[in-house]
Amino acid sequence: MKESLDFIYKEQKELSYFGGIAALLGWDQMTYMPQKGCGERAEQLSMISRLAHERIISDDFYNHLKKLDEMPNMLTERDLIVVNKLKEDVEKARKVPSEFVEKMAKTTSLAYTAWEEAREKNKFSLFAPHLEKIIELEKQYCDYIKLPGHPYNSLLDDYEEGMTVDTLRKEFGVLRSQLVEILKKITSSAHYQKQQPVKMKLDVVQQKELCDILLKRLKLPFDRSRLDISVHPFTTTISDDDVRITTNYEHEGLLASFFSTVHEAGHALYELGLLKGEYKDTVISDAPSIGIHESQSRFWENMIARSKSFCTYFAPVFKKVVPDTCKDMNIEIWYRAINQVRPSFIRVEADELTYCLHVILRFELELDLLEGKITVTELPHCWNQKITDFLGITPKTDKEGVLQDMHWSGGEFGYFPTYAIGTIYASQLFKQFLKEHTTIREQISQGNFTPILNWLSEHVYQYGRLITADEIIKKTCGEGLNSKVFIAYLKEKYYPLYDI
């Protein structure tokens, strides 16, 4: 038994190193890698992916796991938890050939570079052949995994364990209709007709200064993290003490870089606070789902950073860093400005109300592509039609439409729904947090964010994969995914803002 335990822990540790190497190569490709390095980078990433996958699905690894699984009474609680979760992961991975994993890694690495070029040239046709290959690979993957129900369940499960298309169609159906209804009420209000977008032209130096101040206030440890620039902001983990986040200083939205940095900081705080200790370098020391991960970023970005209490604390900071632009901005103006509802094309710049409509759009298109209801060639038109139906606006270019996200270039079908799932989870966590911390608004207005970090650590960070995302939310909030909580939160916040 000791030999088998030593073997599986050694393998998990080395697999975490493989993951860190792949993450570092991917981070470099999206930040500093020379453009012509994409060819060999694709080969490097595909090799790492293949080697890691071969280790996971090896007969030696599986035989040791089966031996341990057959003697549960002789295992400690910690070892039993690790063995059970690891066996689930390994049995799923063994369904997928290494050649497929290598092919997917190479295909997506090349596709990312093609997406960058297509986006820069505003020409979807440059990316379309790569997307067609990826969709065929996604279909093959579904055939390998074959979870019950809709084939998309096999993709979704990689990001949100246990979630199904049936559940999302039900929740997103309610959410979509309610969001469209709220949006119509707001856009037909007198206040909306009179509101003018607050425009701020901050230079890169000012944006960087604001982001640095923000990260220090949130207590993000700079000796365990760093902030860089990429086309599409993201967070990646190289190791327990090396988490990288990025932002972009070119977007035109009000303080876009500031709020994207808040968002990514939420991810980083979660990664750095995740369960370690006796579970370090095991499958348990990880997030149970991307939805839970996203709940942390949305919690900080929307529930905290877009609150009036946060404006109370940061308004003087904005005035100090950008005195000319902010001289006439009081707290009320700031609060209304950063919470303006205004349908827009770009998901990462969308306001809090319309954001999930962008996500639901992508979920529906992914289903249509996998079911063969639409082709890749038809995708830009279908995208524009849905945006028009949902938000009443129509993209004029591929860059502000179908080419705005990098996710499909990475083969991340099934990922987009987690943004909405996480947003709903965030509202549920926030509701419970307010019940337990009745004076938190005053503390936030004084710049005290420690109670928030402590509460999230106790109710989310500490679990890792000991329990599922659904169990975490039920344990903390008393119920699982419930979009009605998010709708109630939006009405309570936005109806007063628009005198409804």
Q: How far apart are CA 163 and CA 422, in angstroms?
A: 13
Q: What pLDDT sits at residue 154?
A: 98
CA atoms within 13 A on the CB side of 167: 18
Q: What pLDDT sits at residue 257?
A: 92
Say whether pTM exceeds 0.85: yes
Kindly report, residue by residue over 354-379, the tens digit of the pLDDT. Answer: 999 999 999 999 999 999 999 999 99
Q: How far apart are CA 407 and CA 32, in angstroms?
A: 19
Phi-psi region of 33 (alpha: psi -120 to 50; beta: other; left: phi over 0): beta
3-class DSSP string for 75-128: CCHHHHHHHHHHHHHHHHHCCCCHHHHHHHHHHHHHHHHHHHHHHHHCCHHHCH
Tell me which residue has tokens 């992916």.
Answer: 49
User: Is there a contact between 269 and 218 (Cβ–Cβ < 8 Å)?
Assistant: yes
Q: For residue 276, give Cα distances in angstroms to 9, 282, 349.
A: 14, 9, 34
Q: What pLDDT sits at residue 1?
A: 85
User: Is there a contact between 179 and 361 (Cβ–Cβ < 8 Å)?
Assistant: no
Element housing 199 (H / E)? none
Kindly report, residue by residue over 384-417, the tens digit of the pLDDT. Answer: 999 999 999 999 999 999 999 999 999 999 999 9
- Residues carrying an active site annotation: 264
Kindly report, residue by residue over 195-238, the tens digit of the pLDDT. Answer: 887 777 788 999 999 999 999 999 999 999 999 999 889 999 99
Q: What pLDDT sits at residue 329?
A: 84
Give the type of residue at 232.
Answer: H
Q: Which residues of the chain have pLDDT under 50?
A: none
C-alpha of 256 from chain center: 17
What is 165-497's CATH number, 1.10.1370.30, 1.10.3210.10, 3.90.650.10, 1.20.120.50? 1.10.1370.30
User: Is there a contact between 85 and 284 (Cβ–Cβ < 8 Å)?
Assistant: yes
Domain ranges of the chain: 2-146, 165-497
Q: What pLDDT sits at residue 195?
A: 86
| Pairing of the two strands 235-239 and 225-229 | unpaired
